[in-house]
Amino acid sequence: MAKVLLIDDHADLRDVIEQLLKMHGHTVECRANADDALEDVRQTRPDVLIVDQRLPGMSGLELLRVIRRDQSLASLSVIICSADDSSRDEARLAGAQDFWVKGSEKLMEQIAQLDGFVGASN
């Protein structure tokens, strides 16, 4: 199972996604902003980051770009999440391995398939 760092500033949604991930056997740490998450990434080296695109301060896409520029973090698997599909291409161009739409029916399926995703990207 994967060690996941989930970054979302909406506590209710973060809690739901955290519980779904844990139901699938993943170890999950949560943060509400990108600055705290970046420090954790450097210290704990999660298998995958699941990052909300819209965060206070540094956005999820900005965090992704910082990670991709850091040689020690560049290979980290990052999934960007958003309430809408409009920035899927921008996320992919920034280096996201996947893009999840929050609230979609497909989100449950994507969470269930996270093990295969993490194994394939490492």
- C-alpha span between 19 and 16 (Å, rounded): 5
**Token pair for 107:** 């989100």
Question: Where residue 97 falls among pLDDT bands split at 50, 70, 90?
Answer: very high
Q: How far apart are CA 24 and CA 43, in angstroms?
A: 24
Count of domains for the chain: 1
Please give the residue range of the domain that contains residue 100: 3-121
Question: Is residue 21 scored above 70 in pLDDT?
Answer: yes
> What is the CATH number for 51?
3.40.50.2300
What angle (nearest 5°) sits at the alpha carbon of residue 54, between those of residues 42 and 52?
55
Instruction: Note the pLDDT tens digit of each residue in 40-95.
Output: 999 999 999 999 999 999 999 999 999 999 999 999 999 999 988 888 999 999 99
- What's the residue count for the chain? 122
Taking the C-alpha atoms of residue 114 and residue 116, their distance in angstroms, rounded to an integer, is 5
- The token duo for 42 is 């450097």
Q: What local confidence, expressed as pLDDT, does residue 105 receive?
A: 73
